Chain A
Amino acid sequence: MTVTEPTSRALDEIKIGGMGASRRRVEDNRFIRGKGHYVDDVVLPGMLHMEILRSPVAHARIVSIDASAAWEIPGVRLVLTGEMMATRNLAWMPTLSYDTQAVLATDKVRFQGQEVAAVIADDPYIAKDACEAIVVEYEQLPVIVNPTQSLAPDAPLIRDDKVGQVDNVCFTWQVGDQDATDRAFAEADVVSRIEMHYPRSHPSPLETCGSVADFDRATGKLTVYMTTQAPHIVRAAVALIAELPEHLIRIVSPDLGGGFGNKVPVYPGYVISILASILTERPVKWIEDRTGNLISTGFGRDVYLTGEMALRKDGRILGVRMHTDSDHGAFFGDAQPSKFKIGLLHSAFACYDIPTAHLTARGVYTNKAPGGVAYRCSFRVTEAMFFQERMVQAAADDLGMDQAEFRRLNFVRDDDFPHRTPFGFLTDSGQYAKCLQVGLDAIDYEGFLREKAEAAKNGRLLGIGISCMTEPLGAGNSREYDILGIKMFDSAELRVHMTGKAILRTGAKTQGQGHETTWAQIVAHELGIPAEDILVEEGDTDTAPFGMGTYASRSTPVAGAAIAMAARKVKAKARQLAAHLLEVSEEDVEWELGRFYVRSAPDRGVSIQECAMAAYSNMPDGLEPGLEANAYYDPPNLTWPFGCYIATVEIDPATGVWDVLRFVAVDDCGVRINPMIVEGQIMGGLTEAYAMASMQFITFDADGNCIGSNFMDYLLPTAWETPGWELHEVVTPCPHHPIGAKGVGECATVGGPAAFVNAVMDALKGHGVRNVDMPLLPDRVHEALQTRGDVSGAPPIRTDR
């Protein structure tokens, strides 16, 4: 007997650019032609230009500011100082962490590069000349560049502006179960300890920050073109800070030349340009220069981590203690959910089955730039996972266990989900041991260990480092996560036009992630409309639905889910239209990709495009015309991707220079919408991980001078030194996400650094070294070999005067 299956008329999902299609990025079409439209491309009639005068010193009382010479330069329209900002109640502004930050300094400058005055002129050259003509008299104060100095009993008070602030501590916080953790340590056979500094880094997108503020006195409307990853948050902030009506504020975030967390906060430059436009009644453009970006805008990391692990002889982890001293600079400006003072640092150890843990955290003020942005990570998850994997390697070494075996033994098992992490997060899915095995097989773990032993006989130093982690991406849910009280959900709005083409808008904001490409693929997957027929638009608060923006790898987990939900609403309505066109009841209509058909007569069907036309031209009685929907999505949980990164290195003992021999990355980010874009994100993330591990840091000398204020000192790796990446994948769909996707944009940056550092430390094993702080510059590695000891990277740097 032969059975003839009815021939499906469903569209080929890959051909229409749906889920799983490695579709070329549509936005690249304009970018590679130089036709992108960035903030600096905005030119408005009558536009003025603003430059900021910054403090050359790190801590000083402002004795006087004389701007009279600046006012006299032809073409200067306005000179603003803190005193003038204060008359408008704008000398200070709130930060994203319930602190305050100076917009223009009034009393003191508290870090090198702090904004002191601004000049608005006919062109930027005049504005710059006028900045140089402003005479500021400073009375220098003692400078603090690290927590030890900050916490010293005789330390000068940095925040003497704050009522009741008696020391330089900006918060203390704790999480976990202290008593249970104490008991675990009492029962331990072995206690392993480690301490380290995760150095200050900077997201350094190629496009610096900037704004064009345009206040129209006649309409009362304020339009601000701005480099922001979260335009709606900015609109809310401007409404609150500048006390302007929210419906008359339009924030437009055009093409962004990268963000990486740098463009989440509201910076003084934006606020000053807005006030300048209100005062001059002219559009005012402010484009930060590279040095301004590196020395004054949101840094990442700068956390001192110490911890210990309670271990049983057989290799099981019983508990973990952690303490962080974090350096927040002059103002506590971390961009993070308000409940958590040190971000999601307590997501550490989420992939290990550990009964209990306790974390204490203390934040301090120093004379350094404020910020604490999540540089390509979900709220200090980078520090968490780096500490975790460095601690795990140290523990394995202390137990004399193989580092891969130690991880395998302590991993949460595949059948043990949902799993409560030692700090209380709920993880829901993963195949940790499988990912590790894929990585070990790819790098030929056993083979490399033999090669390493062989090389050691000739005095060569080879090492292998592993880093495994699951991280929390995609905040909310809204119960736990908010920024300044605004709950963390996201949104999408989908309109299908009568010819079956569509426009999709979301509350996220692409900065290079490729939303214009992948969002269309989600709609294609849900509705069968070819991706090329869908226009994706983001970043204009007058047109986009309210959303919390793009950072912390939250776009696909939250906005991506909202897109799927909006598309499903559209599909539900299209089904009604299909039933009408097919003259059957809705219950008799079946769906296959791109087409509704009659269940009993599969040949009778209508395409989604025919439904769209009917929505405007042939709708049934009683059905609202049009075919569109919006969705606000509040995720039930974070998504938990997993990454396993393995590096092999060789150190030149004579110079301390180390080279990466191979690097294997195994990423499980659930279902991949556009595999090519995912791989691009991973490669970019690994490159940033390599940068932080090998060369990148912003440090300070004892006077608070920023070392790393330009791209000659703050190093971005080039194609020459960046290792080749070998990528592998495992897919464990997210159980609660509508299309099974998890966040991925940051995994490699978060998990990558420990792989490099563990590899170098592995090569140094037996040389008396437990830790060398990042970046592992050749001189540090060499010093470790020479002194047979740890090397700290904490500022101030050692210099000869």
Chain B
Amino acid sequence: MYPSRFAYEAPRTLDEAIGLLHDGAGEAKVLAGGQSLVPLMKLRFANPELLVDINNLPGLDRLETLADGTIRVGALVRHRDLERAGDVHRIQPVVGAAAPLIADPIVRTRGTLVGSLCHADPQGDWAAVVTALRGYVVAQGPGGRREIPIGDFVTGPFQNVLAHDEVAVEAVLPGPRHTVAGGFLKLERRVGDFATAGTAVAIELDGDRVTRAGIALTGVGSRTVDATGAAEALVGRALTSEAIAAAADAAAEAAQPTADHRGSAAYKKHVIHTFVTRILTRVSTTSEQAA
């Protein structure tokens, strides 16, 4: 496994990094955790002429929780940091549910959430979580900063909306207004395997009424599937078995899987249905018990 020839730079400032990307004219790639990019380079599926290593940039490793519950995840925050961030899990349990299921412990030590969003693998896990939470990506380029909603950020399989001289500096998860609940379930053949199918569910409840819902699916389409119909089936209603069934039906309907060695399309839709049902049923049971 020998990559093509490439240059390597490790700038000390964000401006310097943006300058290098600008000069790279589309042939440069940002290196953060390297857990997807480096294997792709070894396979020569990715052949960048320049790697801009952002690991020396100050401040990007910050994981912040603000007073209003907003969570800011810097571009160098590792999966492991998120796995161990109890305060984040308390605000958004879906993050706590997903973090330990990302790849394997070795990858979690190096890989980053923002890098995972940029990589835009249709089988990636974080994009589903961020989609369910209506998060956005903050990008910085020569012209300044901009905020890009996750739904606009990922444009296709392994494609994002970033300009060639923009760096995704952080991902932001907006703070909840009501009681949060949700979960993340993934079917994988083995730890570290790509998801056969996975589901992130994030809801907010005012009493027993759902005020906000996000349901996003991974592994069942050419990009992360935002199952808006499933979310709409819940908003304004209590988590009755009818509402749960309607959401699960809509989520399975939204899934666009293809058959492969992980299973048939029908099977993957069925798994999505099962997972949505399971997460919501658990939420419903837990809130009944709490009441």
Known: A655-B274, A715-B190, A783-B267. A125 touches B259 (CB 8 A): no
Docked-complex contact B271 and A124, CB < 8 angstroms = no
B4 located at the interface, meaning its Cβ lies under 8 Å from any Cβ of chain A in the complex: yes
B156 located at the interface, meaning its Cβ lies under 8 Å from any Cβ of chain A in the complex: no
Known: A707-B261, A718-B104. A777 touches B187 (CB 8 A): no
B263 located at the interface, meaning its Cβ lies under 8 Å from any Cβ of chain A in the complex: yes
**Docked pose: A800 CA to B264 CA in angstroms:** 9
**Docked pose: A487 CA to B192 CA in angstroms:** 45
**Docked pose: A778 CA to B104 CA in angstroms:** 20
Chain B residues within 8 Å of A124, by CB: 2
Contact residues, B189-221 vs A (CB, 8 A) = 189-194, 196
CB closest chain-B residue, reference A289: B1
B258 located at the interface, meaning its Cβ lies under 8 Å from any Cβ of chain A in the complex: yes
Docked-complex contact A718 and B267, CB < 8 angstroms = no
Chain A residues within 8 Å of B274, by CB: 654-655
Minimum C-beta distance from B164 to chain A (A): 25
CB closest chain-A residue, reference B262: A779
Contact residues, A746-801 vs B (CB, 8 A) = 777-779, 782-783, 797-800
**Docked pose: A708 CA to B261 CA in angstroms:** 10
Minimum C-beta distance from A68 to chain B (A): 20
Docked-complex contact A717 and B190, CB < 8 angstroms = yes
A601 located at the interface, meaning its Cβ lies under 8 Å from any Cβ of chain B in the complex: no
Known: A777-B189, A778-B187. A712 touches B261 (CB 8 A): no
Chain B residues within 8 Å of A695, by CB: 189-190
A290 located at the interface, meaning its Cβ lies under 8 Å from any Cβ of chain B in the complex: yes
B265 located at the interface, meaning its Cβ lies under 8 Å from any Cβ of chain A in the complex: yes
Chain A residues within 8 Å of B89, by CB: none
Chain B residues within 8 Å of A699, by CB: 261
Docked-complex contact B4 and A657, CB < 8 angstroms = no
**Docked pose: A124 CA to B4 CA in angstroms:** 11
CB closest chain-A residue, reference B257: A800
B22 located at the interface, meaning its Cβ lies under 8 Å from any Cβ of chain A in the complex: no
Query: Which of these, A712, A715, A721, A799, contacts B260 with CB under 8 Å?
Result: A799
**Docked pose: A721 CA to B4 CA in angstroms:** 36
Q: Which of B3, B190, B260, B262 has the most CB of A within 10 A?
A: B190
Contact residues, B145-174 vs A (CB, 8 A) = none
Contact residues, A647-684 vs B (CB, 8 A) = 654-657
Query: Which of these, A127, A694, A712, A779, contacts B264 with CB under 8 Å?
Result: A779
Docked-complex contact A778 and B263, CB < 8 angstroms = yes
Query: Which of these, B1, B262, B265, contacts A800 with CB under 8 Å?
Result: B265
B134 located at the interface, meaning its Cβ lies under 8 Å from any Cβ of chain A in the complex: no
Docked-complex contact A290 and B190, CB < 8 angstroms = no
Contact with A along B249-291 (1 / 0, CB 8 A): 0000000001111111101001100100000000000000000
**Docked pose: A712 CA to B261 CA in angstroms:** 12
A713 located at the interface, meaning its Cβ lies under 8 Å from any Cβ of chain B in the complex: yes
CB closest chain-A residue, reference B193: A715
Docked-complex contact B261 and A797, CB < 8 angstroms = yes
A54 located at the interface, meaning its Cβ lies under 8 Å from any Cβ of chain B in the complex: no
Query: Which of these, B1, B2, B4, B196, contacts A779 with CB under 8 Å?
Result: B196
Docked-complex contact B259 and A713, CB < 8 angstroms = no
Q: Which of B5, B191, B261, B270 has the most CB of A within 10 A?
A: B261
Secondary structure class of chain B's binding surface, majority of residues: loop
Chain B residues within 8 Å of A28, by CB: none
Chain A residues within 8 Å of B271, by CB: 655
**Docked pose: A778 CA to B3 CA in angstroms:** 36
Chain A residues within 8 Å of B3, by CB: 125
**Docked pose: A1 CA to B193 CA in angstroms:** 75
CB closest chain-B residue, reference A718: B191
Known: A654-B274, A779-B263. A712 touches B194 (CB 8 A): yes
Minimum C-beta distance from B102 to chain A (A): 13
**Docked pose: A713 CA to B261 CA in angstroms:** 9
A122 located at the interface, meaning its Cβ lies under 8 Å from any Cβ of chain B in the complex: no
Minimum C-beta distance from B255 to chain A (A): 13
Docked-complex contact B259 and A798, CB < 8 angstroms = yes
**Docked pose: A598 CA to B5 CA in angstroms:** 76
Docked-complex contact A800 and B189, CB < 8 angstroms = no
Chain B residues within 8 Å of A107, by CB: none
Chain A residues within 8 Å of B258, by CB: 799-800
Docked-complex contact A777 and B263, CB < 8 angstroms = yes
Query: Which of these, B187, B191, B194, B259, contacts A721 with CB under 8 Å?
Result: B191
**Docked pose: A656 CA to B1 CA in angstroms:** 36
Contact residues, A674-728 vs B (CB, 8 A) = 694-695, 699, 707-708, 710, 712-713, 715-718, 720-721
Docked-complex contact B190 and A718, CB < 8 angstroms = yes
Q: Which of A125, A695, A778 has the most CB of B within 10 A?
A: A778
Minimum C-beta distance from B123 to chain A (A): 10
Docked-complex contact B104 and A797, CB < 8 angstroms = no
Query: Which of these, B2, B259, B261, B267, contacts A782 with CB under 8 Å?
Result: B267
Chain A residues within 8 Å of B189, by CB: 694-695, 715, 777-778
Q: Which of A132, A694, A712 has the most CB of B within 10 A?
A: A712
Chain B residues within 8 Å of A177, by CB: none
**Docked pose: A716 CA to B191 CA in angstroms:** 10
Minimum C-beta distance from B5 to chain A (A): 7
Minimum C-beta distance from B36 to chain A (A): 11
Chain B residues within 8 Å of A718, by CB: 104, 190-192
Docked-complex contact B196 and A290, CB < 8 angstroms = no
Minimum C-beta distance from B261 to chain A (A): 5
CB closest chain-B residue, reference A710: B43
Minimum C-beta distance from A467 to chain B (A): 23
Chain A residues within 8 Å of B270, by CB: 782
**Docked pose: A695 CA to B190 CA in angstroms:** 8
Minimum C-beta distance from A260 to chain B (A): 19
**Docked pose: A695 CA to B4 CA in angstroms:** 33
Chain A residues within 8 Å of B190, by CB: 695, 715-718, 720-721
Chain B residues within 8 Å of A729, by CB: none
Contact with A along B1-17 (1 / 0, CB 8 A): 11111000000000000
**Docked pose: A799 CA to B274 CA in angstroms:** 23
**Docked pose: A716 CA to B104 CA in angstroms:** 13
A129 located at the interface, meaning its Cβ lies under 8 Å from any Cβ of chain B in the complex: yes
Chain B residues within 8 Å of A129, by CB: 4-5
CB closest chain-A residue, reference B42: A289
CB closest chain-A residue, reference B4: A129
Minimum C-beta distance from A695 to chain B (A): 5
**Docked pose: A799 CA to B257 CA in angstroms:** 11
Known: A779-B196, A800-B258. A655 touches B191 (CB 8 A): no
**Docked pose: A128 CA to B274 CA in angstroms:** 46
Minimum C-beta distance from A11 to chain B (A): 46
Contact residues, A132-189 vs B (CB, 8 A) = 132
**Docked pose: A720 CA to B108 CA in angstroms:** 15
Chain A residues within 8 Å of B191, by CB: 718, 720-721
**Docked pose: A783 CA to B2 CA in angstroms:** 41
CB closest chain-B residue, reference A780: B263
Docked-complex contact B1 and A290, CB < 8 angstroms = yes
Docked-complex contact B193 and A712, CB < 8 angstroms = yes
Minimum C-beta distance from A781 to chain B (A): 10
Docked-complex contact B259 and A128, CB < 8 angstroms = no
**Docked pose: A718 CA to B105 CA in angstroms:** 11
Docked-complex contact A798 and B5, CB < 8 angstroms = no
**Docked pose: A604 CA to B1 CA in angstroms:** 66
The 9 nearest A-B residue pairs measured at CB: A779-B263, A800-B258, A720-B191, A128-B2, A779-B267, A654-B274, A715-B190, A800-B259, A125-B2
24 contacts between A and B (CB under 8 A): A124-B2, A289-B1, A654-B274, A655-B187, A655-B271, A657-B187, A695-B189, A708-B261, A710-B43, A712-B194, A715-B189, A715-B190, A715-B193, A718-B192, A720-B191, A721-B190, A777-B189, A777-B263, A779-B264, A783-B264, A783-B267, A799-B258, A800-B260, A800-B265
- Please report A residues at the B interface, Cβ cutoff 8 Å: 51, 124-125, 127-129, 132, 289-291, 654-657, 694-695, 699, 707-708, 710, 712-713, 715-718, 720-721, 777-779, 782-783, 797-800
6 further A-B pairs in the complex, CB-CB below 8 A; given A129-B4, A712-B194, A799-B260: A125-B5, A128-B2, A655-B274, A699-B261, A721-B191, A798-B264
